[in-house]
Amino acid sequence: MLSFAGVLALLAIGILAIVVATPAKSTTGKSQSNDRGPDSCSPVIIAHRGASGYAPEHTLGSYALAITMGADYVEPDLVMTKDGQLISRHDNELGLTTDVANRTEFADRYRTQTIDSNAVSGWFTEDFTLAEIKSLRAIERIPDTRPGNARMDGAFQVLTFQEIIDLVKSLQISQRRTIGIYPEIKHSSHFKTLGLPMEELVVNTFHQNGYRDSDAPVYIQSFEINNLKELKRITNLRLLQLYDSKSLQPADQVLLGADITYGNMSTPEGLAEVAKYASAVGPDKSYIIPRNEDNSLGDPTSFVADAHAVGLKVHPYTFRAENTFLPKEFQSDNPLKEARGDLTGELQKFVEAGIDGLFSDQPDIALRFRGPCL
C-alpha cells in the first residue's frame, strides 16, 4: 500500500503533467465552464500556503491538493529573487523551508540583516537568482508538529508566481469551477529598499493573465499600508489589509516614524480608513474572539460588525487542526505534538461570530464543515 506521502507525490507528478500538457485557455482568470466561483459560498475557504497541513507549504503538492480538496482560493506568499522574479515562500529567509543549509556551494551566502526592524540570520531570496532557487528543494517548516509532511522533504521545487497561476488555470478545467488566487506581498518595504519592488510586478503578472477587475477571482494582501494604497491606484483587483498583534505597527509605518498600530486600525474609525483602499480585512483570530488566560475562547468582539458596517469582508487567519494551535476546549487528550483536536468546533464559533471567509492549513476540514457548495 502506498504511503500518504507516496500518494501525494504521485498526485503532484500527475498534476505537473496536466499543467505541462494542458493549455490554460482562459484569458479572464475564470473557468470556461464557470460552474461556480470562489466567492459563491460562505464562508470562503482559503487554503493557507496550499493544503499546508498535509504537504510542505507553498509547493506543487500543497497547492494541487488544496484545489482537489475543493478550496475556493489558494494563498501564495510572494518574495523576490536577486534577478527580479516572484517566487512563493513565506519568508525571504530560505533556511526554514528549503535544503539550502545542506548545500555547501551556498554556504558563503549565509548572513545577518535587518528585516522589518528585526535582525534575521540565514540565506535570503534576494541573494539568489531564480536558477539557483530552482536548484533548491522544499522542506517542511514545522517537522515536529507535521512529521508526515517532513517525509516529503526534497520532493518539490520552489514555485514561481506564474507557475502557480498556470497550475490554477489548468486545474480549473478538470475541476469545472473558477479557483481564486490570494497572494500576500511579503516584506514590501524591505524589497523596495533593495531596488526590488513587487507591487507593479504582481499587478502586471495578474493583468497579463487576464485578472484585471474587481470581479476577478483575486485578492492581494499585505501587512503594510502604503503598498496597498499604491496598489489601489494601479489596479481594480481587490485588496485585503492584514492585521498583526494590536501593539505592533506595520513595517512601512515604522520606517515613516508614524505612530499608527494595528490596534488603532481595528477601531471603527480605523476600519473606515482601511475601507478607503481595501475590500476586506484579514485579522489574527484574536481580534474576533480573544483567548482567555487559560487558552480557552473568550467572548466575541465587535470587530466583525464594525468591519461590515464600513463594507469590509472579514477573513481571519489561521485555522489549524493540531492541538498546539487550538483553543483549550477543542484540544484532544492525545499528548503527541502532532495530535489533532476539534478544529470544527473552533470553526463553528467563528462562523457564528459572522466571518465571511477564513484561512486554513487543512481546507478539507473547513470544507466539510461548510457543506456542499452548489
DSSP 292: P
- 358: cell is 477564513
Give the span between the Cα atoms of 219 and 224, in whole angstroms. 15
Q: What is the pLDDT of residues 149-204, one digit of tens each?
A: 999 999 999 999 999 999 999 999 999 999 999 999 999 999 999 999 999 999 99
Active-site residue, from 90, 187, 190, 315: 90
User: Is pLDDT at 27 greater than 60 in this prediction?
Assistant: no
Nearest to 205 by CA among 250, 158, 168: 168
Determine whether 214 is exposed, middle or buried from the number of CB atoms within 10 Å of its CB (0-12, 13-18, 19+): exposed
Torsion of CA 52, 165, 156, 134, to 10 degrees: -130
34 falls in which pLDDT band (50, 70, 90)?
low
Query: Is 48 noted as a catalytic residue in this protein?
Result: yes
Q: What is the pLDDT of residues 35-50, one digit of tens each?
A: 689 999 999 999 999 9
Residue 372: the pLDDT is 85
Give the span between the Cα atoms of 69 and 45, in whole angstroms. 11
| Collapsed DSSP state (helix, strand, coil) of residue 81 | coil
| Collapsed DSSP state (helix, strand, coil) of residue 338 | coil
Active-site residue, from 48, 58, 190, 315: 48
User: Is pLDDT at 20 greater than 80 in this prediction?
Assistant: no
User: Is pLDDT at 128 greater than 70 in this prediction?
Assistant: yes
373 falls in which pLDDT band (50, 70, 90)?
confident
Cis peptide before 43 (omega within 30 of 0): yes
| DSSP tally for the chain: helices H, then strands E | 14, 13
Give the span between the Cα atoms of 168 and 147, in whole angstroms. 27
Give the span between the Cα atoms of 47 and 361, in whole angstroms. 6
Residue 11: the pLDDT is 55
Give the span between the Cα atoms of 255 and 241, in whole angstroms. 18
Segment 74-91 mean pLDDT: 98
Give me the chain's average pLDDT, please. 93
User: Is pLDDT at 7 greater than 60 in this prediction?
Assistant: no
Query: Is 315 noted as a catalytic residue in this protein?
Result: no
Nearest to 73 by CA among 231, 219, 180: 180
